[in-house]
Amino acid sequence: MRIDLHAHSRASDGTQTPTELVEAAVSAGLDVLGLTDHDTAEGWAEATAAAVATGLTVVPGMEISTKHGARDVHLLAYLPDPSHPGLQAALTEVLEARTSRVPAIVAQLVAHGIEITVDDVLAVAGGPAAFGRPHVADALVSLGVVQHRDQAFAEWLSSGRPGHVRRQSAQLERMLGLVAEAGGVSVIAHPWGRYGSQGLAADDIAALVPFGLAGLEVDHQDHSPEVRRQLRAIATDLDLVVTGSSDHHGVGKTNHELGCNTTDPEQFERLLELAAAASRRSGRATPVPVPALPRRPT
């Protein structure tokens, strides 16, 4: 079983439609794909429909933008009911902040002499539910300002660069609570990817467990072998599920090919059991992996 639990489509900042993403996952030899667009369930219906009769199982999820103190934390939420009123309202706030940030970024770029318009961004983005800096990056590429997304981030869009605009997001503990109420399970994406252990130390992770944290994404391209070893030890200590995933964005992010990291089948099984328990506790109509996975012999 090859299980990849973190990938993006054009519903957020991936470059493939959900259907194209599913086809790519089949070609890559995956058995299970988690669709985890930023802050939206928009791509779920198309991806699950595309997966029927392919042999691939799609796990509906999302990567929620949250804050922990001054730090951004990406929270993977698997199988929540996206129509839960509290979760839906919180996600709508984040999505609106993403949309309103686009003209703000464009204005800053224009102030720095770049001839770019909001329409240039809309033209390359193609109507995603969740706008992000990568769409502005793609517009800068289409205008010939930079060669690729990486260069757009390095020169214009990363923190400290002229086009950087902070984005509002929900508080991590609050979001953990909402995901649980919506019957989903929470896994912290690339916990030490960008800032090392500075932002989210072992103690901080332990303190999140009572709020419903169920797992850590240990195997991720942003983690060195040593970071993976340390995070695995923390997960074992706290009895958290360990996942591994590509964080694929189509051609939008290099070195993140589908299946470049995978999740151990036993860990995946645990994640599904926790999701089933969370679903029962919540009383919500939560989604299921599609097509359903064969029951393991007991």
- Binding residues for Fe ion, rule: CB under 5 A, are 63, 74, 189, 247
| β-sheet bridge partners, residue 68 | 71
Neighbours of 121 (CB within 10 A): 21
Among the listed ranges 88-96, 110-118, 127-135, 260-268, the one in contact with ligand AMP (CB under 6 A) is: 127-135
Residues from 24 through 43 that contact ligand AMP (CB under 6 A): 38
Tokens 């694929």 belong to 248
Give 78 or 153: the residue with its C-beta nearer to ligand AMP.
Answer: 153
Residue with smaller CB distance to ligand AMP, 171 or 269: 171
**Contact positions with ligand AMP (CB under 6 A) in 4-23:** 13
With CB under 6 A as the contact rule, the residue among 10, 149, 220, 284 that binds ligand AMP is: 149
Q: How far is it, in rounded angstroms, from Cα 108 to Cα 116?
A: 10
Length of the chain as a residue count: 298
CB of 14 vs Fe ion, minimal distance in Å: 9
CB of 79 to ligand AMP, least distance (A): 21
Task: Single out the segment in contact with ligand AMP by CB under 6 A; choices: 28-36, 147-155, 216-224, 225-233.
Answer: 147-155
CB 98 within 8 A of CB 132: yes
Q: Does 217 bind Zn ion (CB under 5 A)?
A: no
Question: Which residue number, 149 or 270, has a Cβ lying nearer to ligand AMP?
Answer: 149
Select the residue interacting with Zn ion from 5, 6, 13, 24 (CB under 5 A). 13
Backbone angles phi, psi at 186, to 5 degrees: -110, 135
Burial of 224 (0-12, 13-18, 19+ CB in 10 A): exposed
Token pair of 144 as six digits? 């010939």
Rounded Cα distance, 257 and 222, in Å:
13
Binding mask 259-298 for ligand AMP (x = CB under 6 A): ----------------------------------------
DSSP per-residue codes, 197-265: TSSS-HHHHHHHGGGTEEEEEEE-TTS-HHHHHHHHHHHHHHT-EEEE---BBTBTSTT--TTSS---H
In the complex, the residues that contact Zn ion under the rule CB under 5 A are 13
In the complex, the residues that contact ligand AMP under the rule CB under 6 A are 13, 38, 132-134, 149-150, 153, 167, 252-253
